[in-house]
Amino acid sequence: MEINIPIHISGIQINPGDWIVGDDDGLMVLPLLKADSWVNYGMDCLERENRIREEIVSEKSSLGKVIDVLKWEKR
């Protein structure tokens, strides 16, 4: 048995130190050298989505006003 060696699974190379990230939809490999930039990108996306949600809830945007109208619409 060997430890800390690259492996291949379904055509994907996984190196020691790579991050394996998963959810209900599957897994992905983040190469160690790119992990920091991908994590920063993910945090930027989350921050942007939270800002949009806040605008919608506070009705500062037209989306917030549309949602307010839709709650009174008969379905």
User: Is 2 within a domain?
Assistant: no
User: What DSSP line would sit under 9-57, residue for residue?
Assistant: ETTEEE-TT-EEEEETTEEEEE-HHHHHHHHHHHHHHHHHHHHHHHHHH
The pTM is what?
A: 0.55
Question: What CA–CA distance (Å, rounded) separates 24 from 2?
Answer: 30
User: Is 21 within a domain?
Assistant: yes
pLDDT of residue 5: 96
pLDDT of residue 1: 85
User: Is 52 within a domain?
Assistant: yes
User: Is 75 within a domain?
Assistant: no
Total of domains in the chain: 1
User: Is 34 within a domain?
Assistant: yes
Residue 65 sits in which domain range? 7-70
Q: What is the mean pLDDT of each run of 10 residues along the chain (75 residues)?
A: 93 94 92 91 91 76 61 57
